[in-house]
Amino acid sequence: MKITGKRALVVGGTGGIGAAVADTFADAGATVLVADRRPGSGRHPSIPLDVTDEQDVADAVAEALTRLGGIDILVNSAGVLDQADVACMSLRQWQRTIDVDLTGVFLVSRAVLPHMTAQGWGRIITVASQLGIKGSPSMAHYAAAKAGAIAFTKSLALEVAQAGVLVNAIAPGPVETDMTVDLTPEWRARKTAELPLGRFAVPTEVAPTALLLASDPGGNLYVGQTLNPNCGDVMP
Catalytic residues: 142
| 89 has a pLDDT exceeding 80 | yes
Task: Report the percent of the chain where pLDDT is more than 70.
Answer: 100
Average pLDDT over residues 38-51: 88
Helix axes 104-119, 54-68, angle to 10 degrees: 40
Counting runs of H as helices and runs of E as strands, what totals does the chain give? 8, 7
List b or e across 7-33, with b for residues whose CB sees 16 or more CB atoms inside 10 angstroms: bbbbbbbbbbbbbbbbbbbbebebbbb
pTM reported for the whole predicted model:
0.96
Give residue 180's pLDDT: 85
| 83 has a pLDDT exceeding 90 | yes
Length of the chain measured in residues: 236
User: What's the CA gap between 233 and 127, in Å, rounded?
Assistant: 16
User: What's the CA gap between 232 and 236, in Å, rounded?
Assistant: 10
Give residue 217's pLDDT: 96
Average pLDDT, the chain: 96
| 179 has a pLDDT exceeding 90 | no
Which residue from 77, 79, 74, 98 is spatially nearest to 7, judged by alpha carbons?
A: 74
Q: Indicate the DSSP class of residue 224.
A: S
Helix axes 203-214, 16-27, angle to 10 degrees: 50
Beta-carbon contacts of 196 under 8 Å, excluding residues fewer than 6 positions away, are 231, 232, 233
User: What's the CA gap between 11 and 58, in Å, rounded?
Assistant: 13
pLDDT band of 182, cuts 50, 70, 90: confident
Average pLDDT over residues 13-32: 96
Give residue 42's pLDDT: 75
| 29 has a pLDDT exceeding 80 | yes
Report all structural domains of the chain as residue ranges with CATH numbers, in order of start. 7-227 (3.40.50.720)
Beta-carbon contacts of 33 under 8 Å, excluding residues fewer than 6 positions away, are 7, 8, 9, 10, 44, 45, 46, 47, 64, 67, 68
Average pLDDT over residues 6-14: 97
pLDDT digits (tens, 9 = 90+) for 131-178: 999 999 999 999 999 999 999 999 999 999 999 999 999 999 999 988
